[in-house]
């Protein structure tokens, strides 16, 4: 069962059972005060924390279980536990050989690490909580305990100061103990998973641990290039992520949190990949692709930019209803098409062959601002390819224009952010750069009116005005179109916008999606229990795509918490040391942090 939430200022619990042994006189005398059934009172928090250091393991495990109950969705109690030095005691219990002790301690740490108070996460880090959790992960084969350990690490990973601690101490254990063995991928199978599989993926029963682990790694992948490098080079990690996503696509289950975390992590690992992989100069566009690989040798990270990933991401764009999955898929394509490298050129062509241009153009009508921005930015990089640019000029211009602000009834149904409007303008500038037909399509879709309005609207940002001005100057540059424009009533001065010197990249450059995807404000009083981190504040994505924070794991409420403390007291005050302590499972909602923006 699931316990209730308690008022943050009072610590309730079940009445303590009457003690029998004089050896527990100090505990007995402490609690035999005040009102309550049988003369017993509710224990105060300092007393509960003191019991974490008691010599009897049943007392310690039940004290930890009771703390898990008290800290459930109660930020004040969490802070009080930290202030009263309860966190070091709980971390030390992770090395206890008895399951009841380390299981209860881990559940309490999971709750304490969840939420907006980053001091709790830092306190766990400072007393070597991450290495202790990993020692426990490597020793256990218990699925429930693995769920709790990985959930705790996911919570901790939402704070920047803990990310590299997790990369340095937890990465290989998370990959070796969770991702690789439970994903269904088999070493030596080249990502095929050992042949055709039934629709039910083999990882299904470990979905919670996999979701937690992918969420944790999603968060840390947004930290810095060193973190991304270590994740890419972690043996089997990229293979496992790809296999999970392909399995989910095969089962048509592409909207869940596991798929989301895996795709966001893949997006982050593709960020700056053309610069950060070893010997990246081998893949410059002047080098044929078949000379950019070493015969007989394949590294796991090479899967990130192999041709087959295009089909994976395009399947997600086509099938998923999860806006974060859509954003991450477009962000990965954007990243892979960035830079002057051979695989970027190859992927631009493959997206066209897979009908990806039309799929992404269709998503420009999505009702989520970040999805529209991601699709536009990906199309911007895809338009570097001349054939893609021609096709987008013929078919995508009306969809792009429809997202620009307008003064009439044709105003977009949703208000788009400045960043999204700037992205749309940048894509239009790229598409119109060498195509008279695209400029004609812009005119036919009332694009001139919207661009001029942006320039004359005193409420628009400098970036929006600059973007609109560049597109207008491009249109006026087509002499064949000027007479038609003048017949429409436009004057040369409408297209001659006074622009400051450009501060961003010029036509023909590349954009990458910024860091990992994470939902802002989820753990900070936002809508969901977990928090995702945007890339670049885009969280794991802005210009270059990365998803920053992902959702922290939800808190768990100890199921039998109401009687945990009565068990604690009776065990502590009797000589029946073999009595079975509380073994209830932690139950909690699965909340949903970063990373994308």
For residue 457, what pLDDT is reported? 78
Q: 20-37 b/e with 16+ CB inside 10 Å = b?
A: eeeebeebbeebeeeeee
DSSP notation for 576-596 = -TTS----PPEE---------
Mean pLDDT, residues 111-116 taken together: 94
In the predicted structure, residue 191 carries a pLDDT above the cut 60: no
Lowest-confidence region among 176-190, 378-392, 511-525 = 511-525
pTM, rounded to two decimals: 0.80
Residue with tokens 């149904």: 413
Distances (CA, A) of 576 to 99, 382, 573, 580: 19, 71, 9, 10
Cα-Cα-Cα-Cα torsion 217, 220, 224, 228, nearest 10 degrees, comes to -10
Residue 502: count of CB within 10 angstroms of its CB: 10
For residue 413, what pLDDT is reported? 52
CB proximity list for 286: less than 8 A, separation 6 or greater: none
In the predicted structure, residue 290 carries a pLDDT above the cut 70: no
For residue 408, what pLDDT is reported? 60
CB proximity list for 456: less than 8 A, separation 6 or greater: none
For residue 512, what pLDDT is reported? 59
Backbone angles phi, psi at 558, to 5 degrees: -60, 125
Mean pLDDT, residues 37-53 taken together: 83
Lowest-confidence region among 1-10, 112-121, 179-188, 211-220 = 1-10
DSSP notation for 360-380 = HHHGGG-S-HHHHHHHHHHHH
pLDDT in tens, 426-450: 999 999 988 899 999 999 999 999 9
In the predicted structure, residue 259 carries a pLDDT above the cut 80: yes
Residue with tokens 């959930």: 151
Among 383, 385, 312, 292, which Cα is nearest to 345's?
A: 385
DSSP 3-state assignment of 3?
coil
Specify the higher pLDDT residue, 43 or 7.
Answer: 43
Specify the higher pLDDT residue, 529 or 109.
Answer: 109
For residue 40, what pLDDT is reported? 66
DSSP 3-state assignment of 406?
coil
Start-end of H helices in 257-368: 257-270, 273-276, 308-319, 323-336, 342-353, 356-362
Specify the higher pLDDT residue, 228 or 185.
Answer: 228
For residue 235, what pLDDT is reported? 92
DSSP 3-state assignment of 535?
strand
In the predicted structure, residue 412 carries a pLDDT above the cut 50: yes
* CATH 1.25.10.10 assigned to 22-384+509-587: yes
- Fill in the DSSP letter of residue 292: S
Mean pLDDT, residues 287-293 taken together: 46
Q: Are 463 and 505 in contact (CB under 8 A)?
A: no
Rounded-to-integer distance, Cα 114 and Cα 132, Å: 18
By the 10 Å C-beta count (0-12 exposed, 13-18 middle, 19+ buried), 462 is classed as: exposed
Q: 274-297 b/e with 16+ CB inside 10 Å = b?
A: beebeeeeebeeeeeeeebeeeee
By the 10 Å C-beta count (0-12 exposed, 13-18 middle, 19+ buried), 202 is classed as: middle
β-strand 586-587 against 557-558: which pairing, if any? antiparallel
Q: Name the most confidently modeled range: 194-198, 322-326, 502-506.
A: 322-326
CB proximity list for 430: less than 8 A, separation 6 or greater: 380, 383, 384, 389, 507, 508
Rounded-to-integer distance, Cα 261 and Cα 48, Å: 37
For residue 35, what pLDDT is reported? 55
By the 10 Å C-beta count (0-12 exposed, 13-18 middle, 19+ buried), 139 is classed as: middle
Among 405, 413, 273, which Cα is nearest to 337's?
A: 273
pLDDT in tens, 585-596: 333 333 322 233
In the predicted structure, residue 144 carries a pLDDT above the cut 70: yes
Rounded-to-integer distance, Cα 10 and Cα 70, Å: 9
For residue 275, what pLDDT is reported? 85
CB proximity list for 373: less than 8 A, separation 6 or greater: 327, 416, 417, 419, 420, 423, 597
What residue ranges do the domains of the chain occupy?
A: 22-384+509-587
Specify the higher pLDDT residue, 347 or 32.
Answer: 347
Please report, rounded to a whole number, the percentage of residues in the chain having pLDDT higher than 70.
Answer: 69
For residue 281, what pLDDT is reported? 60
> Given pLDDT bands bounded at 50, 70 and 90, which one contains residue 206?
confident
Backbone angles phi, psi at 85, to 5 degrees: 65, 35
Rounded-to-integer distance, Cα 237 and Cα 261, Å: 13
For residue 589, what pLDDT is reported? 30
- Fill in the DSSP letter of residue 551: P
> Given pLDDT bands bounded at 50, 70 and 90, which one contains residue 423?
very high
In the predicted structure, residue 363 carries a pLDDT above the cut 90: yes
For residue 284, what pLDDT is reported? 67
Mean pLDDT, residues 163-182 taken together: 96
- Give the CA diameter of the chain: 103
Among 221, 151, 224, which Cα is nearest to 518's?
A: 221
Q: 212-247 b/e with 16+ CB inside 10 Å = b?
A: bbbbbbbbbbbbeeebbbbbbebebbbbbbbbbbbb
For residue 434, what pLDDT is reported? 84
Specify the higher pLDDT residue, 545 or 286.
Answer: 286
| Mean pLDDT of the chain, nearest integer | 78
């Amino acid at each position: 069962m699931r316990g209730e939430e308690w008022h943050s200022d009072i610590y309730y619990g079940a009445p303590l059972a009457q003690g029998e042994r004089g050896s527990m006189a100090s505990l007995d005398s402490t609690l035999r005060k005040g009102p309550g059934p049988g003369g017993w009172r509710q224990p105060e928090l300092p007393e509960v924390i003191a019991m974490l250091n008691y010599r009897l393991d049943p007392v310690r495990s039940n004290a930890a279980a009771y703390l898990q109950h008290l800290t459930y969705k109660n930020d004040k109690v969490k802070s009080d536990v930290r202030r009263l030095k309860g966190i070091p005691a709980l971390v030390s219990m992770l090395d206890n050989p008895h399951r009841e002790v380390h299981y209860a301690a881990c559940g309490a740490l999971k709750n304490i690490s969840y939420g907006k108070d980053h001091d709790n996460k830092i306190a766990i880090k400072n007393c070597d909580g991450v290495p202790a959790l990993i020692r426990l992960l490597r020793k256990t084969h218990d699925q429930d305990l693995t769920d709790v350990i990985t959930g705790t690490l996911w919570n901790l990973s939402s704070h920047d100061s803990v990310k590299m601690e997790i990369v340095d101490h937890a990465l290989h254990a998370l990959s070796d103990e969770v991702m690789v063995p439970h994903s269904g991928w088999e070493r030596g199978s080249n990502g095929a998973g050992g042949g055709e599989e039934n629709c039910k993926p083999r990882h299904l029963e470990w979905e919670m641990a996999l979701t937690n682990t992918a969420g944790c790694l999603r968060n840390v992948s947004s930290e810095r290039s060193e973190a991304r490098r270590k994740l890419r080079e972690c043996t089997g990690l990229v293979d496992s992520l790809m296999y999970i996503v392909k399995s989910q696509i095969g089962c048509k289950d592409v909207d869940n949190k596991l798929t989301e975390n895996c795709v966001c992590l893949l997006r982050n690992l593709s960020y700056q990949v053309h610069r950060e992989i070893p010997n990246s100069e081998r893949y410059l566009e002047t080098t044929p692709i078949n000379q950019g690989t070493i015969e007989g040798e394949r590294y796991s990270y090479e899967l990130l930019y192999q041709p087959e990933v295009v089909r994976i991401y395009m399947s997600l764009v086509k099938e998923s209803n999860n806006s974060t999955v859509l954003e991450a898929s477009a962000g990965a394509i954007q990243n892979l098409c960035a830079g002057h490298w051979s695989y970027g050129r190859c992927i631009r062509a493959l997206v066209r062959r897979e009908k990806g241009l039309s799929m992404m153009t269709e998503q420009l009508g999505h009702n989520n601002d970040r999805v529209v921005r991601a699709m536009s930015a990906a199309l911007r990089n895809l338009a570097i390819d001349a054939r893609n640019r021609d096709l987008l000029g013929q078919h995508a211009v009306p969809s792009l224009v429809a997202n620009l602000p307008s003064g009439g009834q044709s105003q977009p149904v949703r208000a788009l952010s400045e960043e999204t409007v700037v992205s749309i303008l940048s894509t239009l500038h790229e598409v119109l750069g060498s195509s008279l037909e695209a400029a004609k399509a812009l005119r036919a879709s009332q694009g001139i009116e919207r661009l001029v309005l942006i320039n004359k609207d005193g409420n628009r940002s400098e970036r929006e005005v600059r973007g609109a001005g560049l597109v207008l100057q491009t249109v006026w540059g087509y002499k064949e179109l000027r007479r038609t424009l003048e017949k429409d009533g436009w004057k040369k001065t409408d297209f001659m916008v006074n622009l400051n010197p450009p501060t961003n990249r010029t036509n023909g450059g590349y954009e990458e999606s910024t860091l990992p995807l994470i939902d802002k404000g989820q753990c900070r009083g936002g809508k969901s229990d977990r928090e995702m981190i945007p890339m670049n504040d885009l969280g794991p994505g802005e210009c270059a795509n990365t998803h920053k924070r992902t959702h922290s794991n939800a808190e768990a409420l100890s199921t039998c918490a109401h009687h945990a403390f009565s068990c604690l007291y009776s065990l502590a005050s009797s000589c029946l040391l073999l009595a079975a302590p509380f073994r209830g499972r932690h139950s909690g909602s699965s909340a949903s942090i970063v990373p994308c923006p």
